[in-house]
Structure 1
Amino acid sequence: MSTSSNSENNSMPSFLLKSPFTSKISNYYLPCTFKIPKDLKTYDGTTDPDDHLHLFECIMRIHSLPEPAWCKLFRFTLIGDAARWFETLPHDSISTYSQLAKSFEIHFIFLKISPMTYASMIMDIKQEPDEPLKVFVARFKERILGIRKRTDGYWIASFISGLRSGSFLRDLMDRPPSTLEDLMDRAESFDRSLQLTFNMKNAKRDRGQSDDGSSSLSDSPYESDCILEFDGAVKGNRGLAGAGVVLLDVDGSLVSFVREGLGSVSKQVDEYKALILGLKYALKRGFSRIHVQGDSKLVYMQVCGFWRVKSHDMSYLCNVVNDLKEKFISFKISHVDRESNSRADDQANMVVYLRNGEVQEEVIGDSPDFEPLQEWQLESLSSANQ
Structure 2
Amino acid sequence: MGKGHLIMAWEMTLAQISKSPFVRRINKARLPYWFSQPTFSLYNGSTNPVEHVSHFSQKMAVHIGNEALMCEVFPSSLGLMAMRWFDALQEGSIWSFRELTRVFGARFVMCSRVPKPLGSLLSMVMRERETLNTYLDRYWEMYNEIDGDFEDVAVRIFKVWLLTEHELRKSLTMKPSHSMRQLMDRIDKYKRVEENQTQGKGNAKALLEKRDSRGGGYYNNQPRRDVPNQTSSAGAQVINSLFKEPIYQILEKIKK
TM range (shorter): 0.3 to 0.5
More strand by share: 1
Query: Which one has a larger percent helix, Structure 1 or Structure 2?
Result: 2
TM-score (norm 1): 0.25
State the TM-score, normalizing by the size of structure 2: 0.36
